[in-house]
Structure 1
């Protein structure tokens, strides 16, 4: 792409924003060198990556901070057998730790193909990280735990240094020696512990003079008794240095043995930093993925220039390439013409760089091989070129190189010279570019170009709306309507004498007056059409609102009717059951009485009456069953495990746990209860019926029982995080709102890994240490979201 075009369209400013958002040095370098591509396959691939990153960030939050340096130079040194310095090793360690953090963050990539594949490139480096953690406190300090030999050497050094201090302390406390000292203290010069001796008593303290005061009155002496100990310390210091060098070599060799895995992880992290930077920018800008084509079609919906404040930017709708190939925009200065040009050009550049655009869904952009823009005052003082000459120089370059895969953006075409010649030249240039198959958007003040656009095939007029009442531009782009000449109207509204305005109008040509009248009529019809459309939309919304209210009222009526019906059935059932119980007792009493009286005829008559009563009860029960089943009764067919069913006897919806046996008995789970029921007691449930049932009962169905805690003690961080992730999903669907994770105290590594994971989990509202009686720091109490 032409560098002048990139700068004119402010592409470099967007790239600078993205560069500053990127966290790693390699990602910043990528954005610094990023230029638009013309390869549609490559563009689609980049947009696919950003699309996955965008959706993942929306669902699971922003990733961990991917701040790291370029470790490739150090990595290559280790492969060649060189010893890395602490800084290089710690930079590599940072990348290795981030590899673990990002693997944990990317624990929900089942439906994200690209992120799943890149997660597979992130290695497991526990051995190296553990070795480095035991070795370094910082770049400047190696830990005693780096090796047993180093620990032993340092313990010897500390003991010898302690001996020196003891010797010197003994001397400065001695009354005889104290009078030879300037002060009874131990001083340090370099790494030596010395005594401040008065110069006149030089021969009283036997030792080596290492320094003297500025006045020469004080000599700093190392007593001979300490010199031998210092020599031993010096030897040990050299051994310490050699041991540290050996440790660094061992770690460098260990890093070299993982060269391929570390390099793969590094490139994966750089790629993720780039993708998530683009995704987070898209989220902040409310940007969308454009639909791309190679047919020269541009169709932007509610496009918003990203460098204009969100609260001030006016969205524009603009299209090109389907019904027309050349768009000529007219209108007043500061009316938004140049912003429109820049928005279209910038969006094409962003799209071809794999970056989303701030517009509405469904916006389309063409992949152009070349994009040229002649925008702004490019006057060159050095070359002594006028504004017109500078623009013409750009246009000459454009006409030479443009073809049918080119987008050309021309601001104030033909300006800066005689209006008649400028308009003629503008027509010729636009015609020439159209013949070459270019897509062109041009802005102008020339009224003749409005007529030209109306006459030429595949040309179209557009204007930036101006409110003559408020004397302010609205920045709305109106395609199909040329811009009006508002100079006379504005002058009149500002208070210019009416006679002057009328005199000026008399100097206008008849053609100009007629054109202005036509534009005025078109603008009036457009406003009437917009008002009619707005009214229609308002009426449509009102109708939809009324319909929704009617449907809601109807639904409430049906629910109330069903409630009353069920209540009546239940009351009738209770009455029948109570009557049945009372009559049964009455029959028992009568039977006993008849037996006592030995009246067989009475017994026979009682049995007949009982059978008749039982037939009556059965008839009533059947009638109740028919009434109860009038709405949802559906005999189960092809029962399968997990199927939703309604259990009549419990008046509840559940899920089939086991299939019916030979007698038709099966297990159904309702909430956390598993019930044995007969197939005759269940019905099929449609989705709408289930929703209505849940709404009426105001309960949440749960698939299985979930414990209030999970114990991951003794597990690795990765395994523990997988178990915790599954447990949190089960706990949430099981309706739990607070759970406990038991990880133990130990070294704190497992606890910290779990807490880092919980920070980014979408179901976690908050977490804390356990209190006294809950397990304190050996557990983490997690509160789940509602």
Structure 2
């Protein structure tokens, strides 16, 4: 693209904003060379880079890009044998460190997929050893440190010793001969320590004169007593300088050895800084990524001119290249027509340069082979060119260089000459451009072009809105509606005599009045459509809010219903628990006074089992039945005794009998009621129980062992187990059983003996024989 388009569309101002966003001189240099690409793949790749960086900045706020310098000239000088300065070496170490910091920061990001940026960071080589060598010799201020070498440390120590000696001798002179001095200070001239001596005392002090004041009254003299010390100090400083140069030469050679890695790091850091500069500019502009195409299609929603402040700019929708390839914009001066042209052109250049554009998400832009623009008054007095001539010169150049892949922007096409001839010329130029297939946006004042879009395929009219009430443009672009001439309305509001206005209207041609009436009708229809759309949008928002409120209320109702069910179940559980505790107390009392004929242990077990089964199971959550399961349950044949769920009451019950074809009598708690088959959900069916007789032969087929091991049990638990075991042993028909309690403290053994004495069905209790377990076992004989 030619440089003129960058000047006309003010692309250089966008580049300057991008340069300001770059953190390093490397990134700024890349930003200065920013230029649009005409290759779709390359543009998409640039947009991908910017988009990844934008998401990194959006989530992390900032990226560490500090401490990076343009080290390429220094590295190249080191390669050809040059000795770098301490500051150059320090910049190289700082750049190595900055690259490592950026690499580490970007590698730690796990919430985002940034493959392109990671491919760049993978190329950064962490030259830790070189960085360490430089920083071990040079401090943060660029001074060679004493510890850079043993020789330098020794020379620096000698320098400090000599300086102290010189100062001591000169301070002695200032004390003893202060009247001969202009001031009692020690200063330096020609790198040697001197004193300010009054000219008349030159001979009294003696020594070497290095300088004098402008008046000649003061001489800066080096007393004879410190001449040798100053000579020694100068000699040592020369050696220090040579040692520093030697160290810098070694570092330069070391830097030259890593030339390829250093230059690679510098290039990668420059690219990353450039990418993140583009992302930061997008963040500042509140821009979005455009979808790129090579079909000449433009579609921008609420697009803004990137150089107009956000509090002043008016956003507009632009669409071109789908239903029409040309837009003719009409409207008043200062209404925003030229701004629209520049906005489309500038956003196109930005997108083709990898920059995001100030518009809403979902925008789309094309990659053009060239962008041409004829905007502004380029009248030249020196070249004796009129406004029309200057415009036509540019248009001729454009028409000679454009093709079907070009975007053409014409401002006030055909202006500056006879209106009829200018209008005809403008229509002819547009016809030619449209025939070639280029995309074109043109602005005009000519009324003949207002109907141009209605008579040409692929062309649409547009206008910038003007508020008759305030007599000001609104800067809104209206696609599909040509602009009206508001001269009569404006003149009327400004107070022009109505008779004059009516006379003027009578002189306007019939065709012109028809066009104006058509435009007025279109504007009325548009305003009504906008009003209807706004009302529909408000109703939609209200309906959506009502839907959300109803969903929240229904959810709250469901939570309250579940809470009530849970409270009822918890209340029932507590009642059952209380009944169980009371029943166990009663049974305990009965056991203490029962006889064989009064109590059957298996009856107690069965009663307790029934009580446990009556307890509600709170751990089971209510689950939703799928439609398939529901249909299967509906089709299942119900029989008396089946457990079902009554859907109308959300309660469980049992089928008593079938009272009709599709009607059943159901027992729900203490209630009996009738229900339809469709309201019943099958749960389970009790299988018929096969009664298994207890052992009829004493000791046969019974699960009780002839011994009970109580070792490790708590005292109370052991006695409860013993009591149940004796009952089971009696039912099994055992005559003798062994109770294993261990020796321990003897408490459990004593408890077993006491239990045996009180039990009516135990005949005797004795300690076990040696082969039976001895004192750790008690043998009980049963009646």
TM-score, reference length from structure 1: 0.76
How many residues align structurally?
Answer: 624
2:163 counterpart residue number: 161
Would the alpha carbon gap of residues 203 and 368 (structure 1) be closer, same or farther in structure 2, given more than 3 Å must change?
closer
SS at match of 2:314: coil
1:192 counterpart residue number: 192
1:207 counterpart residue number: 207
CA distance in 1, matches of 2:606, 2:555: 43
Q: Residue 308 of structure 1: CA displacement?
A: 1.3
CA distance in 2, matches of 1:542, 1:250: 77
Structure 1 gaps of 5+ residues are 635-786
CA deviation vs aligned residue, 1:26-73 (integer Å, no higher than 9, x gap): 322222222211011110111110000000110111112446442111
CA distance in 2, matches of 1:252, 1:479: 65
CA contact (8 A) 1:99 1:269 kept: yes
1:727 counterpart residue number: none
User: After the TM superposition, which of the residue ranges 127-136 and 300-309 deviates more from structure 2?
Assistant: 127-136
CA distance in 2, matches of 1:449, 1:149: 88
1:474 counterpart residue number: 474
Would the alpha carbon gap of residues 564 and 244 (structure 1) be closer, same or farther in structure 2, given more than 3 Å must change?
same
SS at match of 2:598: helix
User: After the TM superposition, which of the residue ranges 1-10 and 104-113 deviates more from structure 2?
Assistant: 104-113
Report matched runs for 1:506-517 at 5 Å.
506-517=506-517
2:153 counterpart residue number: 151
Runs of 4+ in 1 over 6 A off after TM superposition: none
CA deviation vs aligned residue, 1:522-562 (integer Å, no higher than 9, x gap): 11111111111111111111111111100000000101111
Q: Residue 416 of structure 1: CA displacement?
A: 0.7
CA deviation vs aligned residue, 1:2-38 (integer Å, no higher than 9, x gap): 2222211121111111112222223222222222110
CA distance in 2, matches of 1:213, 1:326: 82
1:620 counterpart residue number: 614
CA distance in 2, matches of 1:99, 1:254: 19
CA distance in 1, matches of 2:312, 2:514: 36
CA deviation vs aligned residue, 1:391-450 (integer Å, no higher than 9, x gap): 000111111111100110101101111100000000100001111111111011111112
Query: Residue 631 of structure 1 is aligned with which of 623, 644, 656?
Result: 623
CA distance in 2, matches of 1:200, 1:519: 103
Would the alpha carbon gap of residues 570 and 515 (structure 1) be closer, same or farther in structure 2, given more than 3 Å must change?
same
1:445 counterpart residue number: 445
2:490 counterpart residue number: 490
2:85 counterpart residue number: 85
The structure having more radius of gyration, on CA atoms, is 2
SS at match of 2:473: strand
Is residue 44 of structure 2 the alignment partner of residue 44 of structure 1? yes
Would the alpha carbon gap of residues 602 and 363 (structure 1) be closer, same or farther in structure 2, given more than 3 Å must change?
same
2:358 counterpart residue number: 358
SS at match of 1:603: coil
Report matched runs for 1:255-404 at 5 Å.
255-404=255-404
Report matched runs for 1:168-179 at 5 Å.
168-174=170-176
CA contact (8 A) 1:369 1:406 kept: yes
TM-score, reference length from structure 2: 0.76
CA contact (8 A) 1:296 1:321 kept: yes
1:601 counterpart residue number: 597
CA contact (8 A) 2:26 2:70 kept: yes
Would the alpha carbon gap of residues 170 and 13 (structure 1) be closer, same or farther in structure 2, given more than 3 Å must change?
closer
SS at match of 2:555: helix
CA deviation vs aligned residue, 1:87-128 (integer Å, no higher than 9, x gap): 322222231221122123213345210121122122223333
CA contact (8 A) 1:109 1:115 kept: no
CA contact (8 A) 1:569 1:628 kept: no
CA distance in 2, matches of 1:502, 1:360: 46
CA deviation vs aligned residue, 1:168-225 (integer Å, no higher than 9, x gap): 3344445xx6676666654433322234556565555553343455565655443433
Aligned-CA RMSD value: 2.2
CA contact (8 A) 1:37 1:353 kept: yes
CA contact (8 A) 2:22 2:277 kept: yes
SS at match of 1:625: coil
CA contact (8 A) 2:90 2:142 kept: no
CA deviation vs aligned residue, 1:326-363 (integer Å, no higher than 9, x gap): 11111111111111111111111000011000011111
SS at match of 1:600: coil
CA contact (8 A) 2:74 2:88 kept: yes
2:714 counterpart residue number: none
SS at match of 2:478: strand
Would the alpha carbon gap of residues 438 and 633 (structure 1) be closer, same or farther in structure 2, given more than 3 Å must change?
closer
CA contact (8 A) 1:461 1:482 kept: yes
Query: Residue 132 of structure 2 is aligned with which of 114, 130, 134?
Result: 130
CA distance in 2, matches of 1:615, 1:219: 121
1:647 counterpart residue number: none
CA distance in 2, matches of 1:15, 1:182: 60
CA contact (8 A) 2:30 2:271 kept: no
Would the alpha carbon gap of residues 182 and 5 (structure 1) be closer, same or farther in structure 2, given more than 3 Å must change?
closer
User: After the TM superposition, which of the residue ranges 163-172 and 196-205 deviates more from structure 2?
Assistant: 196-205
CA distance in 2, matches of 1:303, 1:341: 12
User: After the TM superposition, which of the residue ranges 260-269 and 427-436 deviates more from structure 2?
Assistant: 260-269
Report matched runs for 1:181-260 at 5 Å.
186-196=186-196, 202-205=202-205, 207-212=207-212, 219-260=219-260
1:586 counterpart residue number: 586
2:413 counterpart residue number: 413
Report matched runs for 1:564-713 at 5 Å.
564-594=564-594, 599-604=595-600, 607-608=602-603, 610-621=604-615, 624-625=616-617, 628-631=620-623
Report matched runs for 1:53-72 at 5 Å.
53-66=53-66, 68-72=68-72
CA distance in 1, matches of 2:355, 2:53: 12
CA contact (8 A) 2:65 2:102 kept: no
SS at match of 2:34: coil
CA distance in 2, matches of 1:25, 1:491: 58
SS at match of 1:103: helix
CA contact (8 A) 2:90 2:135 kept: no
CA deviation vs aligned residue, 1:203-250 (integer Å, no higher than 9, x gap): 555533434555656554434332222222222111101100011112
User: After the TM superposition, which of the residue ranges 160-169 and 204-213 deviates more from structure 2?
Assistant: 204-213
